[in-house]
Amino acid sequence: KETSILLNNWFMMYFLSVILVGTVYPIFLEVITNDKISVGPPFYNKLLIPFLIPFLILMAIGPKIKWIQDNVKLINIKLIFLFLLSILLSYLILSKTGLNVLYTSILIGSSLYLFFITTKDFFVRNQINLSQKISHFGFSLLILSILLNGIFSNEIITNIKVGEKYNFKNGSIYFKKIKDFKKENYVSVVGTFIIKEDNNKEIFLKPELRIFNQPVIITSEADIKTNFFRDRFLVMNLVKGDDYYNIRYQTKPFMIWIWLSTILIAAGGIVNF
């Protein structure tokens, strides 16, 4: 058990170091050379994800290993079966996404494995080490939610004018109307859009443009609709010299789950006091 804890502490230090470098390096580079760069997802994906798989597996089996000495051969066969089941389930989920199924299935499978084990421990076993169970459950939910959010997020960018409909794979966006409102120091331009997706249910989104006078500045205010499984974002911008508006429509699954998981992790720490 102490070995698994030590290894995971090393993993945590590595993760924090990568994030620190990705955050601080562009700042120092700009100060020293006046060059501006941005560190994006490819940097973090290449450096973090390969180490995330053993980290999740160790977090899942670590609490079940005895202190001082244990025999790896005696690890419960149910844990191995649950891991294989997690990989199979993730493969079935991802088989139609067009991603690197083998690599992504192992990653999602590892997070599912941790999620299943922490869920079982939290609801089935006795409540010794309650803070650990809450924190591990919250962390497993966090990793699973972030991974699924990254894989199943969708974005549509197009130009559209009032009265037009834009059709996409699973639904459509209809630009119903636009209306101006005079405010104290700006003009508010509110568009009304009707979104139809898989179940053909109509969702109304009303993004806003704010046109300030002194100085002339145009800002965009997104409209967001949230439910337990996904968030929908819609933002619009002016297209100069045209009747068209540029819109960006995004669906982000499991955003609420990410927030809930961070609350659970914090709650685990509070329970320990």
pLDDT at 101: 63
Per-residue pLDDT tens digits of the chain, which is 273 residues long: 677 778 878 888 988 899 898 888 888 888 888 888 888 878 888 888 888 888 888 877 776 666 555 555 556 666 777 778 888 888 777 776 666 666 777 888 888 888 888 887 777 656 567 787 888 888 888 888 988 888 888 889 999 888 899 988 888 999 999 998 888 888 888 999 999 887 778 889 999 998 888 788 888 889 999 988 889 999 998 876 678 889 999 999 999 999 999 999 898 888 876
Residue written as tokens 């010794």? 128
Contact 195, 205 (CB under 8 A): yes
- Phi, psi (deg, nearest 5) at residue 95: -60, -25
pLDDT at 259: 92
pLDDT at 69: 58
Contacts of 105 (CB under 8 A, 6+ apart): 87, 90, 91, 94
Which element (helix H / strand E) includes 41?
helix 41-61
**Which burial class, exposed, middle or buried, applies to 253 when counting CB atoms under 10 A from its CB (0-12, 13-18, 19+)?**
middle
User: Nearest-CA neighbor of 147 among 86, 233, 194, 220?
Assistant: 86
